[in-house]
Amino acid sequence: MRQASVLAVLACLFPLAMQAMDQQFYISFATRVLIYAMAAASLNLVLGYGGMVSFGHAAFFGAGAYIVGILAMEGVTSAWLAWPAAIVVAALAALIIGAMSLRTRGVYFIMITLAFAQMMYYIFVSLKAYGGDDGLSLPGRSTGFGIDLRGDLVWYYLVLALLAGVLYLLHRLVHSRFGRVIEAIRENETRAAAIGYPVYRYKLLCFVISGAIAGLAGALVANQSVYVSPSLLHWIQSGTLMIMVILGGVGRFWGGPLGAVVLLTLEETLSGSQMLGAYSLYWQLPVGVILLAVVLFAPQGIAGLFSRRRGARA
Amino acid sequence: MLELRKVSKRFGGVVATDRVTLDVAQGEVHALIGPNGAGKTTLIAQISGSLGVDSGEVRFLGEDITRAKQHERVKAGLARSYQITSIFKRFSVLDNLALAVQARSGSSFSFWRPVAAEAALFDEAGSIANEVGLDRRVDAMAGSLAHGEQRALEVGLALATRPKLLLLDEPMAGMGPEESARMIALIGRVRAKVTVLLVEHDMDAVFRLAERITVMVNGRVIATGGPEQIRADAEVRRAYLGDEVVA
Protein backbone atom coordinates (compact mmCIF):
# COMPACT_ATOMS: atom_id res chain seq x y z
CA MET A 1 0.00 0.00 0.00
CA ARG A 2 2.87 2.38 0.82
CA GLN A 3 4.50 1.63 -2.51
CA ALA A 4 1.25 2.49 -4.24
CA SER A 5 0.93 5.84 -2.44
CA VAL A 6 4.50 6.81 -3.29
CA LEU A 7 3.94 5.91 -6.92
CA ALA A 8 0.65 7.82 -6.98
CA VAL A 9 2.26 10.97 -5.58
CA LEU A 10 5.13 10.73 -8.07
CA ALA A 11 2.71 10.20 -10.94
CA CYS A 12 0.65 13.22 -9.85
CA LEU A 13 3.67 15.52 -9.55
CA PHE A 14 5.44 14.41 -12.73
CA PRO A 15 3.51 16.54 -15.26
CA LEU A 16 3.68 19.61 -13.03
CA ALA A 17 7.45 19.24 -12.83
CA MET A 18 7.68 18.81 -16.60
CA GLN A 19 5.55 21.88 -17.13
CA ALA A 20 7.72 23.89 -14.79
CA MET A 21 10.76 22.81 -16.82
CA ASP A 22 8.91 23.55 -20.04
CA GLN A 23 9.19 19.92 -21.21
CA GLN A 24 5.56 19.39 -22.25
CA PHE A 25 6.58 16.61 -24.61
CA TYR A 26 7.22 14.33 -21.67
CA ILE A 27 3.66 14.74 -20.40
CA SER A 28 2.37 13.19 -23.59
CA PHE A 29 5.06 10.51 -23.41
CA ALA A 30 4.13 9.71 -19.82
CA THR A 31 0.46 9.38 -20.79
CA ARG A 32 1.44 6.80 -23.36
CA VAL A 33 3.39 4.95 -20.67
CA LEU A 34 0.31 4.93 -18.41
CA ILE A 35 -1.86 3.50 -21.19
CA TYR A 36 0.64 0.73 -21.93
CA ALA A 37 0.92 0.10 -18.20
CA MET A 38 -2.80 -0.69 -18.22
CA ALA A 39 -2.50 -2.96 -21.26
CA ALA A 40 0.50 -4.79 -19.79
CA ALA A 41 -1.27 -5.19 -16.44
CA SER A 42 -4.21 -6.79 -18.25
CA LEU A 43 -1.86 -9.22 -20.00
CA ASN A 44 -0.15 -10.01 -16.70
CA LEU A 45 -3.50 -11.12 -15.28
CA VAL A 46 -3.80 -13.97 -17.81
CA LEU A 47 -0.10 -14.60 -18.36
CA GLY A 48 1.30 -14.11 -14.88
CA TYR A 49 -1.56 -15.01 -12.59
CA GLY A 50 -3.48 -17.39 -14.84
CA GLY A 51 -0.50 -19.00 -16.55
CA MET A 52 -2.15 -18.57 -19.96
CA VAL A 53 0.54 -17.43 -22.38
CA SER A 54 -1.61 -15.36 -24.69
CA PHE A 55 0.38 -14.22 -27.70
CA GLY A 56 -2.56 -12.34 -29.16
CA HIS A 57 -3.33 -9.70 -26.61
CA ALA A 58 -2.96 -6.90 -29.14
CA ALA A 59 -6.22 -8.12 -30.69
CA PHE A 60 -8.22 -6.80 -27.72
CA PHE A 61 -6.10 -3.67 -27.39
CA GLY A 62 -6.52 -2.93 -31.10
CA ALA A 63 -10.21 -3.80 -31.14
CA GLY A 64 -10.84 -1.29 -28.35
CA ALA A 65 -8.92 1.37 -30.26
CA TYR A 66 -10.76 0.68 -33.53
CA ILE A 67 -14.18 0.81 -31.87
CA VAL A 68 -13.42 4.33 -30.66
CA GLY A 69 -12.06 5.24 -34.11
CA ILE A 70 -14.98 3.79 -36.05
CA LEU A 71 -17.59 5.30 -33.72
CA ALA A 72 -15.88 8.69 -34.00
CA MET A 73 -16.04 8.43 -37.83
CA GLU A 74 -19.74 7.69 -37.49
CA GLY A 75 -20.21 10.77 -35.33
CA VAL A 76 -20.28 9.12 -31.92
CA THR A 77 -17.62 10.95 -29.96
CA SER A 78 -19.01 10.66 -26.45
CA ALA A 79 -16.60 8.83 -24.20
CA TRP A 80 -19.60 7.57 -22.21
CA LEU A 81 -20.71 5.59 -25.26
CA ALA A 82 -17.51 4.86 -27.12
CA TRP A 83 -15.36 3.64 -24.24
CA PRO A 84 -17.85 1.17 -22.78
CA ALA A 85 -18.46 -0.01 -26.34
CA ALA A 86 -14.72 -0.59 -26.73
CA ILE A 87 -14.65 -2.55 -23.48
CA VAL A 88 -17.66 -4.67 -24.41
CA VAL A 89 -16.41 -5.47 -27.90
CA ALA A 90 -12.95 -6.38 -26.61
CA ALA A 91 -14.55 -8.58 -23.94
CA LEU A 92 -16.70 -10.29 -26.57
CA ALA A 93 -13.67 -10.86 -28.78
CA ALA A 94 -11.88 -12.36 -25.75
CA LEU A 95 -14.89 -14.55 -25.04
CA ILE A 96 -14.96 -15.95 -28.56
CA ILE A 97 -11.20 -16.33 -28.97
CA GLY A 98 -10.80 -17.62 -25.41
CA ALA A 99 -13.63 -20.13 -25.70
CA MET A 100 -11.81 -21.81 -28.57
CA SER A 101 -8.17 -21.26 -27.58
CA LEU A 102 -8.55 -22.39 -23.98
CA ARG A 103 -9.37 -25.90 -25.15
CA THR A 104 -5.68 -26.18 -26.05
CA ARG A 105 -2.57 -26.11 -23.89
CA GLY A 106 1.02 -24.96 -23.99
CA VAL A 107 2.52 -24.17 -27.35
CA TYR A 108 -0.80 -24.80 -29.08
CA PHE A 109 -2.44 -22.12 -26.96
CA ILE A 110 0.33 -19.64 -27.79
CA MET A 111 -0.01 -20.38 -31.49
CA ILE A 112 -3.79 -20.29 -31.65
CA THR A 113 -4.04 -16.95 -29.80
CA LEU A 114 -1.41 -15.60 -32.17
CA ALA A 115 -3.38 -16.90 -35.15
CA PHE A 116 -6.64 -15.34 -33.97
CA ALA A 117 -4.95 -11.99 -33.38
CA GLN A 118 -3.40 -12.04 -36.85
CA MET A 119 -6.83 -12.84 -38.30
CA MET A 120 -8.22 -9.74 -36.57
CA TYR A 121 -5.24 -7.77 -37.88
CA TYR A 122 -6.06 -8.73 -41.47
CA ILE A 123 -9.74 -7.97 -40.94
CA PHE A 124 -8.87 -4.40 -40.01
CA VAL A 125 -6.34 -4.13 -42.85
CA SER A 126 -9.14 -5.03 -45.25
CA LEU A 127 -11.63 -2.52 -43.82
CA LYS A 128 -11.11 0.02 -46.59
CA ALA A 129 -13.98 2.19 -45.34
CA TYR A 130 -12.02 2.76 -42.18
CA GLY A 131 -8.62 3.42 -43.63
CA GLY A 132 -7.49 -0.14 -44.31
CA ASP A 133 -3.71 -0.35 -44.33
CA ASP A 134 -3.26 3.36 -43.73
CA GLY A 135 -5.23 3.49 -40.53
CA LEU A 136 -7.76 6.02 -39.49
CA SER A 137 -7.30 9.58 -38.28
CA LEU A 138 -9.85 10.56 -35.67
CA PRO A 139 -11.60 13.93 -35.87
CA GLY A 140 -10.52 14.53 -32.27
CA ARG A 141 -10.47 13.13 -28.79
CA SER A 142 -13.63 11.72 -27.25
CA THR A 143 -15.91 14.17 -25.49
CA GLY A 144 -17.52 13.90 -22.10
CA PHE A 145 -16.73 14.20 -18.41
CA GLY A 146 -17.73 17.88 -18.78
CA ILE A 147 -14.15 18.77 -19.58
CA ASP A 148 -12.07 19.39 -22.65
CA LEU A 149 -9.81 16.38 -23.12
CA ARG A 150 -7.62 18.07 -25.69
CA GLY A 151 -5.29 19.57 -23.13
CA ASP A 152 -2.30 17.33 -22.40
CA LEU A 153 -2.45 17.92 -18.68
CA VAL A 154 -6.16 17.11 -18.32
CA TRP A 155 -5.77 14.06 -20.51
CA TYR A 156 -2.81 12.83 -18.46
CA TYR A 157 -4.74 13.06 -15.21
CA LEU A 158 -7.79 11.32 -16.65
CA VAL A 159 -5.67 8.42 -17.89
CA LEU A 160 -3.87 8.28 -14.55
CA ALA A 161 -7.19 8.12 -12.69
CA LEU A 162 -8.43 5.30 -14.93
CA LEU A 163 -5.17 3.37 -14.51
CA ALA A 164 -5.41 3.77 -10.73
CA GLY A 165 -8.99 2.48 -10.85
CA VAL A 166 -8.03 -0.52 -12.97
CA LEU A 167 -5.07 -1.37 -10.75
CA TYR A 168 -7.23 -1.16 -7.63
CA LEU A 169 -9.75 -3.48 -9.25
CA LEU A 170 -6.98 -5.91 -10.24
CA HIS A 171 -5.54 -5.79 -6.74
CA ARG A 172 -8.88 -6.78 -5.24
CA LEU A 173 -9.31 -9.43 -7.90
CA VAL A 174 -5.99 -11.23 -7.45
CA HIS A 175 -6.48 -11.40 -3.67
CA SER A 176 -10.07 -12.61 -3.88
CA ARG A 177 -11.31 -16.20 -3.99
CA PHE A 178 -11.34 -15.97 -7.76
CA GLY A 179 -7.72 -14.80 -7.82
CA ARG A 180 -6.63 -17.71 -5.65
CA VAL A 181 -8.33 -20.20 -7.94
CA ILE A 182 -6.70 -18.63 -10.99
CA GLU A 183 -3.26 -18.97 -9.40
CA ALA A 184 -4.02 -22.53 -8.31
CA ILE A 185 -4.90 -23.41 -11.89
CA ARG A 186 -1.59 -21.93 -13.04
CA GLU A 187 0.26 -24.00 -10.45
CA ASN A 188 -1.48 -27.31 -11.08
CA GLU A 189 -4.47 -27.43 -13.38
CA THR A 190 -5.07 -31.17 -12.97
CA ARG A 191 -5.24 -30.88 -9.21
CA ALA A 192 -7.44 -27.79 -9.32
CA ALA A 193 -9.92 -29.81 -11.35
CA ALA A 194 -9.60 -32.76 -8.98
CA ILE A 195 -10.56 -30.69 -5.93
CA GLY A 196 -13.71 -29.56 -7.69
CA TYR A 197 -13.04 -26.42 -9.72
CA PRO A 198 -14.55 -26.15 -13.20
CA VAL A 199 -11.17 -25.02 -14.52
CA TYR A 200 -12.23 -23.99 -18.01
CA ARG A 201 -14.84 -21.53 -16.73
CA TYR A 202 -12.37 -19.81 -14.45
CA LYS A 203 -9.78 -19.51 -17.18
CA LEU A 204 -12.30 -18.18 -19.68
CA LEU A 205 -13.65 -15.56 -17.29
CA CYS A 206 -10.10 -14.47 -16.44
CA PHE A 207 -9.35 -14.19 -20.15
CA VAL A 208 -12.49 -12.08 -20.73
CA ILE A 209 -11.74 -9.71 -17.82
CA SER A 210 -8.23 -9.28 -19.15
CA GLY A 211 -9.52 -8.64 -22.68
CA ALA A 212 -11.97 -6.04 -21.40
CA ILE A 213 -9.19 -4.10 -19.64
CA ALA A 214 -7.02 -4.31 -22.75
CA GLY A 215 -10.02 -2.89 -24.66
CA LEU A 216 -10.18 0.12 -22.34
CA ALA A 217 -6.43 0.66 -22.81
CA GLY A 218 -7.06 0.49 -26.56
CA ALA A 219 -9.81 3.11 -26.32
CA LEU A 220 -7.32 5.34 -24.52
CA VAL A 221 -4.49 4.80 -26.99
CA ALA A 222 -6.82 5.78 -29.87
CA ASN A 223 -7.49 9.04 -28.05
CA GLN A 224 -3.85 9.50 -27.16
CA SER A 225 -2.60 9.59 -30.74
CA VAL A 226 -5.96 10.59 -32.32
CA TYR A 227 -5.18 7.87 -34.81
CA VAL A 228 -5.67 4.15 -35.08
CA SER A 229 -3.96 1.71 -37.45
CA PRO A 230 -3.84 -2.05 -37.92
CA SER A 231 -0.34 -2.05 -36.41
CA LEU A 232 -2.08 -1.82 -33.01
CA LEU A 233 -3.25 -5.39 -33.60
CA HIS A 234 -0.07 -6.71 -35.15
CA TRP A 235 1.71 -9.59 -33.45
CA ILE A 236 4.67 -7.32 -32.77
CA GLN A 237 2.35 -5.34 -30.52
CA SER A 238 1.43 -8.54 -28.67
CA GLY A 239 5.12 -9.28 -28.34
CA THR A 240 5.83 -5.80 -26.98
CA LEU A 241 3.19 -6.25 -24.28
CA MET A 242 4.68 -9.62 -23.45
CA ILE A 243 8.19 -8.16 -23.18
CA MET A 244 6.83 -5.51 -20.80
CA VAL A 245 5.34 -8.19 -18.56
CA ILE A 246 8.52 -10.29 -18.59
CA LEU A 247 10.73 -7.26 -17.88
CA GLY A 248 8.46 -6.03 -15.11
CA GLY A 249 7.74 -9.38 -13.49
CA VAL A 250 5.46 -12.22 -14.57
CA GLY A 251 2.76 -12.73 -11.94
CA ARG A 252 3.99 -9.74 -9.92
CA PHE A 253 1.36 -7.16 -9.18
CA TRP A 254 3.47 -4.23 -10.41
CA GLY A 255 5.04 -6.27 -13.20
CA GLY A 256 2.95 -4.86 -16.04
CA PRO A 257 3.23 -1.17 -15.13
CA LEU A 258 6.94 -1.42 -14.29
CA GLY A 259 7.66 -3.18 -17.56
CA ALA A 260 5.80 -0.51 -19.51
CA VAL A 261 7.76 2.28 -17.82
CA VAL A 262 11.11 0.60 -18.36
CA LEU A 263 10.59 -0.55 -21.95
CA LEU A 264 9.09 2.70 -23.23
CA THR A 265 11.70 4.78 -21.40
CA LEU A 266 14.48 2.67 -22.90
CA GLU A 267 12.94 3.03 -26.34
CA GLU A 268 12.60 6.78 -25.90
CA THR A 269 16.12 7.39 -24.62
CA LEU A 270 17.99 4.87 -26.77
CA SER A 271 16.28 5.66 -30.06
CA GLY A 272 17.18 9.34 -29.67
CA SER A 273 20.48 8.79 -27.94
CA GLN A 274 23.52 10.95 -28.72
CA MET A 275 25.81 8.30 -27.33
CA LEU A 276 24.67 5.71 -29.83
CA GLY A 277 24.80 8.28 -32.63
CA ALA A 278 23.96 6.74 -35.98
CA TYR A 279 23.54 3.40 -34.24
CA SER A 280 20.46 4.67 -32.37
CA LEU A 281 18.49 3.04 -35.19
CA TYR A 282 19.41 -0.21 -33.55
CA TRP A 283 18.03 0.73 -30.13
CA GLN A 284 16.32 -2.64 -29.91
CA LEU A 285 19.67 -4.40 -29.61
CA PRO A 286 20.51 -3.10 -26.12
CA VAL A 287 16.87 -3.66 -25.13
CA GLY A 288 17.28 -7.27 -26.23
CA VAL A 289 20.42 -7.62 -24.14
CA ILE A 290 18.61 -6.20 -21.11
CA LEU A 291 15.69 -8.57 -21.66
CA LEU A 292 18.10 -11.51 -21.82
CA ALA A 293 19.78 -10.37 -18.62
CA VAL A 294 16.41 -10.13 -16.85
CA VAL A 295 15.33 -13.57 -18.00
CA LEU A 296 18.66 -15.10 -16.97
CA PHE A 297 19.40 -13.30 -13.72
CA ALA A 298 16.07 -11.96 -12.47
CA PRO A 299 13.36 -14.37 -13.57
CA GLN A 300 10.96 -12.59 -11.22
CA GLY A 301 11.49 -9.44 -13.27
CA ILE A 302 12.23 -5.96 -12.01
CA ALA A 303 9.36 -6.18 -9.51
CA GLY A 304 11.02 -9.29 -8.11
CA LEU A 305 14.17 -7.32 -7.33
CA PHE A 306 12.20 -5.04 -5.04
CA SER A 307 10.56 -7.67 -2.90
CA ARG A 308 12.72 -8.90 -0.05
CA ARG A 309 12.08 -12.58 -0.42
CA ARG A 310 10.81 -15.07 -2.90
CA GLY A 311 7.10 -15.61 -2.74
CA ALA A 312 6.36 -12.22 -1.20
CA ARG A 313 3.80 -10.40 -3.28
CA ALA A 314 3.44 -6.64 -3.40
CA MET B 1 -22.39 -46.79 -3.37
CA LEU B 2 -20.28 -46.91 -6.52
CA GLU B 3 -21.36 -49.19 -9.33
CA LEU B 4 -19.38 -49.69 -12.52
CA ARG B 5 -21.09 -51.56 -15.31
CA LYS B 6 -18.95 -52.81 -18.22
CA VAL B 7 -16.77 -49.71 -18.22
CA SER B 8 -14.26 -49.67 -21.07
CA LYS B 9 -11.52 -47.40 -22.39
CA ARG B 10 -9.42 -47.93 -25.45
CA PHE B 11 -6.28 -45.95 -26.35
CA GLY B 12 -5.73 -46.69 -30.02
CA GLY B 13 -5.12 -50.41 -30.15
CA VAL B 14 -4.62 -50.79 -26.42
CA VAL B 15 -7.58 -51.71 -24.28
CA ALA B 16 -6.90 -50.04 -20.92
CA THR B 17 -10.11 -51.04 -19.21
CA ASP B 18 -12.21 -53.85 -20.63
CA ARG B 19 -15.87 -54.11 -19.52
CA VAL B 20 -15.03 -53.56 -15.89
CA THR B 21 -17.86 -54.26 -13.51
CA LEU B 22 -17.21 -53.31 -9.92
CA ASP B 23 -19.24 -52.47 -6.81
CA VAL B 24 -17.98 -50.52 -3.84
CA ALA B 25 -20.26 -50.78 -0.84
CA GLN B 26 -20.89 -47.96 1.62
CA GLY B 27 -18.41 -47.94 4.49
CA GLU B 28 -15.92 -50.48 3.17
CA VAL B 29 -12.28 -50.25 2.25
CA HIS B 30 -12.17 -51.83 -1.16
CA ALA B 31 -8.74 -52.54 -2.61
CA LEU B 32 -8.02 -52.64 -6.32
CA ILE B 33 -4.87 -54.61 -7.10
CA GLY B 34 -3.15 -55.94 -10.17
CA PRO B 35 0.17 -55.84 -12.02
CA ASN B 36 1.51 -52.66 -13.60
CA GLY B 37 -0.43 -51.74 -16.71
CA ALA B 38 -3.54 -53.56 -15.56
CA GLY B 39 -5.62 -50.40 -16.03
CA LYS B 40 -6.10 -49.45 -12.38
CA THR B 41 -5.13 -45.81 -12.78
CA THR B 42 -7.19 -45.53 -15.96
CA LEU B 43 -10.16 -46.86 -14.05
CA ILE B 44 -9.60 -44.33 -11.23
CA ALA B 45 -9.53 -41.55 -13.84
CA GLN B 46 -12.77 -42.83 -15.34
CA ILE B 47 -14.44 -42.96 -11.93
CA SER B 48 -13.27 -39.46 -10.99
CA GLY B 49 -14.29 -38.09 -14.37
CA SER B 50 -11.00 -36.78 -15.79
CA LEU B 51 -11.24 -39.50 -18.42
CA GLY B 52 -14.40 -40.47 -20.29
CA VAL B 53 -15.77 -43.94 -20.85
CA ASP B 54 -15.99 -45.45 -24.33
CA SER B 55 -18.83 -47.67 -23.21
CA GLY B 56 -20.44 -48.74 -19.98
CA GLU B 57 -22.00 -46.97 -17.06
CA VAL B 58 -20.82 -45.32 -13.84
CA ARG B 59 -23.32 -44.90 -11.01
CA PHE B 60 -22.65 -43.16 -7.74
CA LEU B 61 -25.14 -43.06 -4.85
CA GLY B 62 -27.78 -44.34 -7.22
CA GLU B 63 -27.25 -41.59 -9.80
CA ASP B 64 -25.93 -42.15 -13.29
CA ILE B 65 -22.75 -40.03 -13.45
CA THR B 66 -21.31 -41.55 -16.63
CA ARG B 67 -21.35 -38.17 -18.38
CA ALA B 68 -20.94 -35.92 -15.33
CA LYS B 69 -18.00 -33.50 -15.31
CA GLN B 70 -15.20 -33.98 -12.81
CA HIS B 71 -16.15 -30.95 -10.69
CA GLU B 72 -19.75 -32.19 -10.52
CA ARG B 73 -18.53 -35.55 -9.25
CA VAL B 74 -16.39 -33.85 -6.60
CA LYS B 75 -19.50 -31.94 -5.49
CA ALA B 76 -21.36 -35.23 -5.29
CA GLY B 77 -18.68 -36.59 -2.95
CA LEU B 78 -16.14 -38.33 -5.13
CA ALA B 79 -12.51 -37.29 -4.59
CA ARG B 80 -9.20 -38.77 -5.65
CA SER B 81 -5.52 -38.67 -4.83
CA TYR B 82 -2.74 -39.23 -7.35
CA GLN B 83 -0.09 -41.89 -7.68
CA ILE B 84 2.38 -39.20 -8.69
CA THR B 85 2.13 -36.43 -6.11
CA SER B 86 0.01 -33.60 -7.42
CA ILE B 87 -0.10 -30.64 -5.06
CA PHE B 88 0.26 -26.84 -5.34
CA LYS B 89 4.01 -26.78 -4.73
CA ARG B 90 4.45 -23.02 -4.46
CA PHE B 91 1.58 -22.63 -2.00
CA SER B 92 1.90 -23.23 1.71
CA VAL B 93 0.42 -26.42 3.18
CA LEU B 94 -2.39 -24.36 4.72
CA ASP B 95 -3.12 -22.57 1.45
CA ASN B 96 -3.23 -25.91 -0.37
CA LEU B 97 -5.86 -27.24 1.99
CA ALA B 98 -7.78 -23.94 2.17
CA LEU B 99 -8.12 -24.00 -1.62
CA ALA B 100 -9.71 -27.41 -1.46
CA VAL B 101 -12.05 -26.28 1.32
CA GLN B 102 -12.93 -23.17 -0.72
CA ALA B 103 -13.94 -25.34 -3.67
CA ARG B 104 -16.94 -26.69 -1.82
CA SER B 105 -17.88 -23.82 0.50
CA GLY B 106 -19.65 -21.08 -1.37
CA SER B 107 -18.98 -19.66 -4.80
CA SER B 108 -15.47 -18.86 -5.89
CA PHE B 109 -16.75 -16.47 -8.54
CA SER B 110 -16.14 -13.82 -5.93
CA PHE B 111 -13.88 -10.99 -7.02
CA TRP B 112 -13.80 -8.37 -4.33
CA ARG B 113 -13.43 -9.73 -0.82
CA PRO B 114 -9.90 -10.78 0.17
CA VAL B 115 -9.80 -14.52 0.67
CA ALA B 116 -7.22 -14.10 3.42
CA ALA B 117 -9.98 -12.60 5.59
CA GLU B 118 -12.04 -15.78 5.48
CA ALA B 119 -11.05 -17.33 8.78
CA ALA B 120 -13.46 -20.25 8.40
CA LEU B 121 -11.56 -21.57 5.37
CA PHE B 122 -8.25 -21.56 7.16
CA ASP B 123 -9.66 -22.97 10.38
CA GLU B 124 -10.99 -25.96 8.55
CA ALA B 125 -7.78 -26.29 6.53
CA GLY B 126 -5.92 -26.35 9.83
CA SER B 127 -8.04 -29.16 11.21
CA ILE B 128 -7.42 -31.21 8.09
CA ALA B 129 -3.69 -30.58 8.42
CA ASN B 130 -4.07 -31.95 11.92
CA GLU B 131 -5.92 -35.00 10.68
CA VAL B 132 -3.21 -35.95 8.17
CA GLY B 133 -0.40 -35.17 10.62
CA LEU B 134 0.86 -31.96 9.03
CA ASP B 135 -0.20 -29.61 11.83
CA ARG B 136 3.38 -28.53 12.48
CA ARG B 137 4.09 -27.90 8.80
CA VAL B 138 1.14 -25.64 7.88
CA ASP B 139 3.33 -22.67 6.94
CA ALA B 140 5.86 -24.67 4.96
CA MET B 141 5.89 -24.38 1.18
CA ALA B 142 4.31 -27.59 -0.09
CA GLY B 143 7.20 -28.18 -2.50
CA SER B 144 9.67 -28.16 0.39
CA LEU B 145 8.01 -31.02 2.28
CA ALA B 146 9.61 -34.45 2.56
CA HIS B 147 8.20 -37.16 0.29
CA GLY B 148 6.09 -38.76 3.00
CA GLU B 149 4.67 -35.38 4.01
CA GLN B 150 3.80 -34.56 0.42
CA ARG B 151 1.96 -37.87 0.19
CA ALA B 152 0.03 -36.97 3.34
CA LEU B 153 -0.88 -33.59 1.83
CA GLU B 154 -1.94 -35.40 -1.33
CA VAL B 155 -4.48 -37.36 0.71
CA GLY B 156 -5.35 -34.25 2.73
CA LEU B 157 -6.32 -32.37 -0.43
CA ALA B 158 -8.77 -35.11 -1.33
CA LEU B 159 -10.11 -35.25 2.23
CA ALA B 160 -10.61 -31.47 2.30
CA THR B 161 -13.29 -31.80 -0.37
CA ARG B 162 -15.22 -33.82 2.23
CA PRO B 163 -15.75 -36.86 0.04
CA LYS B 164 -18.13 -39.73 0.61
CA LEU B 165 -15.93 -41.98 -1.47
CA LEU B 166 -12.18 -41.51 -1.47
CA LEU B 167 -10.19 -42.87 -4.41
CA LEU B 168 -6.60 -43.42 -3.32
CA ASP B 169 -4.18 -44.19 -6.12
CA GLU B 170 -1.14 -45.85 -4.57
CA PRO B 171 -0.89 -43.64 -1.50
CA MET B 172 2.20 -45.54 -0.34
CA ALA B 173 4.12 -45.16 -3.59
CA GLY B 174 7.81 -44.60 -2.88
CA MET B 175 7.45 -44.72 0.88
CA GLY B 176 9.71 -46.35 3.42
CA PRO B 177 8.31 -48.73 6.06
CA GLU B 178 7.89 -46.00 8.67
CA GLU B 179 6.03 -43.65 6.33
CA SER B 180 3.90 -46.52 5.09
CA ALA B 181 2.89 -47.37 8.63
CA ARG B 182 1.82 -43.77 9.14
CA MET B 183 -0.24 -43.84 5.94
CA ILE B 184 -1.88 -47.12 6.95
CA ALA B 185 -2.77 -45.54 10.29
CA LEU B 186 -4.21 -42.50 8.48
CA ILE B 187 -6.38 -44.64 6.21
CA GLY B 188 -7.41 -46.60 9.28
CA ARG B 189 -8.67 -43.38 10.89
CA VAL B 190 -10.34 -42.08 7.76
CA ARG B 191 -12.29 -45.26 7.06
CA ALA B 192 -14.62 -44.56 9.97
CA LYS B 193 -16.04 -41.59 8.02
CA VAL B 194 -15.37 -42.29 4.39
CA THR B 195 -15.66 -45.21 2.00
CA VAL B 196 -12.30 -45.93 0.38
CA LEU B 197 -11.31 -47.42 -2.95
CA LEU B 198 -7.61 -48.15 -2.58
CA VAL B 199 -5.21 -48.92 -5.40
CA GLU B 200 -2.02 -50.27 -3.87
CA HIS B 201 0.92 -52.53 -4.57
CA ASP B 202 1.88 -52.94 -0.93
CA MET B 203 0.17 -56.28 -0.25
CA ASP B 204 0.83 -56.00 3.45
CA ALA B 205 -1.23 -52.78 3.54
CA VAL B 206 -3.90 -54.18 1.25
CA PHE B 207 -4.51 -57.30 3.31
CA ARG B 208 -4.46 -55.30 6.50
CA LEU B 209 -6.92 -52.62 5.40
CA ALA B 210 -9.24 -54.07 2.81
CA GLU B 211 -12.55 -55.77 3.49
CA ARG B 212 -12.90 -56.66 -0.15
CA ILE B 213 -10.39 -56.89 -2.95
CA THR B 214 -10.80 -56.66 -6.70
CA VAL B 215 -8.04 -57.97 -8.94
CA MET B 216 -7.45 -56.52 -12.40
CA VAL B 217 -5.25 -58.00 -15.10
CA ASN B 218 -4.94 -56.64 -18.63
CA GLY B 219 -7.86 -54.28 -18.16
CA ARG B 220 -10.20 -56.97 -16.87
CA VAL B 221 -11.50 -57.87 -13.46
CA ILE B 222 -10.48 -61.46 -12.81
CA ALA B 223 -11.68 -61.76 -9.22
CA THR B 224 -13.51 -59.94 -6.44
CA GLY B 225 -13.90 -61.12 -2.88
CA GLY B 226 -12.73 -61.05 0.71
CA PRO B 227 -8.98 -61.20 1.47
CA GLU B 228 -9.03 -64.94 2.22
CA GLN B 229 -10.93 -65.73 -0.92
CA ILE B 230 -8.48 -63.66 -3.02
CA ARG B 231 -5.47 -65.23 -1.35
CA ALA B 232 -6.83 -68.66 -2.19
CA ASP B 233 -7.90 -67.89 -5.75
CA ALA B 234 -5.80 -69.95 -8.14
CA GLU B 235 -6.12 -67.61 -11.09
CA VAL B 236 -5.13 -64.58 -8.99
CA ARG B 237 -2.07 -66.39 -7.69
CA ARG B 238 -0.99 -67.32 -11.16
CA ALA B 239 -1.61 -63.88 -12.65
CA TYR B 240 -0.46 -61.61 -9.91
CA LEU B 241 0.18 -62.62 -6.36
CA GLY B 242 2.49 -65.45 -7.27
CA ASP B 243 5.20 -66.36 -4.83
CA GLU B 244 4.96 -63.13 -2.89
CA VAL B 245 2.01 -64.30 -0.82
CA VAL B 246 2.71 -68.00 -0.97
CA ALA B 247 6.17 -67.58 0.53
Of B102, B107, B157, the CB nearest to A191: B157
**Is residue A149 helix, strand or coil?**
coil
Tell whether ipTM is more than 0.85.
Answer: yes
Positive or negative torsion for Cα B153, B157, B160, B164: negative
Cα–Cα distance measured from residue B238 to residue B247, given in angstroms and rounded to the nearest whole number: 14
Asked if the C-beta of A181 comes within 8 angstroms of chain B's C-beta atoms, the answer is: yes
Asked if the C-beta of A172 comes within 8 angstroms of chain B's C-beta atoms, the answer is: yes
pLDDT at B97: 97
Disruptive mutation site among B44, B88, B92 for chain A (greatest number of A CBs within 10 Å): B88
B57: left (phi over 0), alpha (psi -120 to 50) or beta: beta
Q: Mark yes or no for CB contact A178/B158 under 8 Å.
A: no
pLDDT at A308: 52
Where exactly are the structural domains of chain A?
Answer: 34-235
Q: Which residue type sits at B228?
A: E
Q: Mark yes or no for CB contact B102/A172 under 8 Å.
A: no
List domains and CATH numbers for chain B.
Answer: 2-90+163-246 (3.40.50.300)
Q: Which of A42, A1, A44, A38 is nearest to A251 (CA)?
A: A44
Residue numbers in chain A where pLDDT is lower than 50? 309-314
Of A175, A180, A199, the CB nearest to B99: A180
Disruptive mutation site among B99, B115, B161, B169 for chain A (greatest number of A CBs within 10 Å): B99
pLDDT at B242: 62
Q: How close A241 gets to chain B, by Cα (Å)?
A: 25
Confidence grade of residue B244 (pLDDT, cut at 50, 70, 90)? low
Residue range B175-204: mean pLDDT, rounded: 92
Average pLDDT of chain A, as a whole number? 92
Q: In degrees rounded to 5, what are phi and psi of residue B86?
A: -130, 95
For residue A55, give the DSSP letter.
Answer: S
Output the DSSP codes for B143-172.
GGS-HHHHHHHHHHHHHHT--SEEEEE-TT
B14 strand-pairing partners: B11
Could you tell me how far CA B85 lies from the centroid of its own chain? Answer: 12
Q: Does residue B25 have a pLDDT over 70? A: yes
Residue range B205-209: mean pLDDT, rounded: 92
Average pLDDT of chain B, as a whole number? 92
A40 in Cβ contact with A195 (< 8 Å) = no
- Say if strands B63-64 and B55-60 run parallel, antiparallel, or are unpaired: antiparallel
pLDDT in tens, B66-112: 999 999 999 999 999 999 999 999 999 999 999 999 999 888 888 88
Q: How close B101 gets to chain A, by Cα (Å)?
A: 9
pLDDT at B189: 92
Asked if the C-beta of B99 comes within 8 angstroms of chain A's C-beta atoms, the answer is: yes
Contacts of B79 in chain A (CB under 8 A): 194-196
